């Protein structure tokens, strides 16, 4: 019996994980919530596509380590390093998505996602106004110098709907009210922000806000493309700067809309050789998000993994 070939993207993602592990960058190393959220989903992709439950077990270990190191009485700290204090709402929504995907296979993770929303939402949300971008670590007050997040309401609303529309109905209603009042004023010119919002909109394509924002985001990104193989960091503020993980976020957004596959391929090829010459050449966030760009898998609404022959337990 012939063995089906491993998808090219999965092969590249696996090679990247093996390099990360050998270099002790990830899943070893300092915990960082954004990176760990992306990493958990990437590991589940590998588990399903390679029919290897060891990657699912590794994803569970990452989750356990995150709660052990970053978990607080309410919510989850940004990262382990001293300068990564406080809590970011847009990091927490990424973690909620990771728990949601894991919950497809073990219900306890679905329950953990609902509980996390109940813990954090009342502290970040100001009904009728918006969601604070960053809070103090104990969620007692907004982090000094930070106001409402421009994109957070959309991702929170989307994640809550994916997780449990019934259990989170009041939280969804609060976010929906703000969205309906403000979405036509949406403005973003940053690579990662645009990729992020495109990814969120693809889950709810029938909603007016998602249609409006995705069209605007695509038009902006088209202006940011450089034919060498990358999107600039920011159309207005950093038109000459290139950030690898920002581009990988764009890649996810584009792939979620089945948009510009030639550009996605060219981008992945460009960043195989790109070096920024700074700390991000070895930062886990760069390489874990590169895995996602290679093979989004469970980050996509319409992803259909092959049927497993082994238990994930």
Q: What's the rounded Cα separation, in Å, for the pair 304 and 293?
A: 17
Give the pLDDT confidence of 267-297 residue by residue, as tens digits.
Answer: 999 999 999 889 999 999 999 999 999 999 9
Mean pLDDT throughout 72-88?
A: 97
Residue linked to tokens 């449990």: 164
Q: What predicted TM-score, i.e. pTM, was given to this entire model?
A: 0.96
311: pLDDT strictly greater than 60 = no
Which percentage of the chain shows pLDDT scores above 90?
93
Long-range contacts of 164-169 (CB under 8 A, 24+ apart): 164/110, 164/113, 164/114, 167/114, 168/114, 168/117
Give the pLDDT confidence of 196-248 residue by residue, as tens digits.
Answer: 999 999 999 999 999 999 999 999 999 999 999 999 999 999 999 999 999 99
Q: What's the rounded Cα separation, in Å, for the pair 54 and 115?
A: 27
What is the structure's pLDDT at 1? 43
Mean pLDDT throughout 16-21?
A: 98
158: pLDDT strictly greater than 90 = yes
What is the structure's pLDDT at 235? 94
Q: What's the rounded Cα separation, in Å, for the pair 176 and 179?
A: 5
Mean pLDDT throughout 142-170?
A: 97
- Taken in order 221, 222, 223, 225, the sign of the CA dihedral is positive
Query: Could you give all domains of the chain from N- to C-terminal order, each with its CATH number?
Result: 27-185 (1.50.10.20), 189-301 (no CATH)
What is the structure's pLDDT at 313? 53
Decide: 55 and 47 in contact? Cβ < 8 Å.
Answer: yes
What is the structure's pLDDT at 4? 63
Mean pLDDT throughout 141-165?
A: 97
139: pLDDT strictly greater than 50 = yes
B/e letters for 49-88, b = 16+ CB within 10 Å, e = fewer, are: bbbbeebbebbbebbebbeebbeeebbbbbbeeeebebbb
**Mean pLDDT over the full length of the chain:** 95
Q: What's the rounded Cα separation, in Å, for the pair 277 and 116?
A: 38
CA–CA distances in Å: residue 279 to residues 31, 275, 290 = 16, 10, 16
Q: What is the DSSP string of the chain?
A: -PPPPPPHHHHHHHHHHHHHHHTT-SSSSS-BHHHHHHHHHHHHHHHHHTT-HHHHHHHHHHHHHHHHHTB-SSSB-SBSSTT--SEEHHHHHHHHHHHHHHTTT-HHHHHHHHHHHHHHHHHHEETTTEEBSEE-TTSSSBPTT--B-SSHHHHHHHHHHHHHTTTTHHHHHHHHHHHHHHGGG----BHHHHHHHHHHHTTSTTSHHHHHHHHHHHHHHHHHEETTTEE-SBTTTBTT---HHHHHHHHHHHHHTT--HHHHHHHHHHHHH---SSGGGT-HHHHHHHHHHH--GGGSTT--PPPPSS---
Q: How confident is the model at residue 310 (pLDDT cuts 50, 70, 90)?
A: low
Q: What's the rounded Cα separation, in Å, for the pair 275 and 286?
A: 11
What is the structure's pLDDT at 5? 73
Residue linked to tokens 């300092």: 30
Mean pLDDT throughout 55-68?
A: 98
Q: Checking DSSP bridges between strand 134-135 and strand 225-226, what pairing results, if any?
A: unpaired
């Amino acid at each position: 019996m012939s063995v089906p070939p491993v998808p090219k993207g999965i092969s590249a993602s696996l090679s990247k994980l093996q390099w990360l592990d050998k270099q002790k960058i990830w899943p070893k190393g300092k915990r960082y919530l954004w990176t760990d959220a992306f990493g958990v989903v990437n590991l589940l992709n590998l588990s399903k596509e390679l029919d290897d439950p060891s990657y699912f077990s590794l994803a569970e270990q990452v989750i356990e380590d995150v709660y052990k190191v970053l978990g607080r009485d309410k919510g989850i700290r940004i990262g382990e390093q001293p300068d990564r204090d406080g809590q970011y709402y847009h990091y927490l929504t990424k973690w909620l998505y990771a728990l949601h995907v894991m919950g497809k296979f073990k219900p306890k993770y679905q329950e953990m996602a609902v509980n996390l929303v109940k813990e954090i939402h009342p502290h970040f949300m100001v009904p009728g106004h918006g969601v604070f971008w960053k809070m103090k670590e104990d969620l007692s007050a907004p982090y000094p110098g930070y106001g409402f997040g421009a994109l957070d309401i959309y991702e929170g609303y989307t994640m809550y709907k994916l997780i449990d529309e019934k259990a989170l109905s009041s939280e969804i209603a609060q976010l929906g009210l703000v969205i309906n009042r403000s979405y036509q004023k949406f403005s973003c010119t940053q690579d990662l922000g645009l990729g992020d919002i495109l990814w969120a909109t693809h889950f709810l394509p029938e909603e007016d806000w998602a249609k409006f924002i995705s069209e605007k985001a695509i038009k902006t990104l088209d202006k940011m493309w450089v034919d060498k193989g990358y999107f600039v960091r920011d159309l207005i503020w950093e038109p000459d700067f290139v950030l690898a993980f920002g581009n990988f976020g764009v890649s996810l957004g584009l792939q979620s809309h089945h948009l510009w596959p030639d550009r996605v391929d060219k981008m992945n090829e460009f960043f195989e050789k790109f070096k920024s010459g700074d700390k991000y050449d070895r930062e886990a966030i760069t390489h874990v998000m590169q895995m996602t760009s290679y093979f989004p898998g469970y980050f996509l609404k319409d992803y259909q993994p092959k049927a497993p022959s082994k238990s994930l337990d």
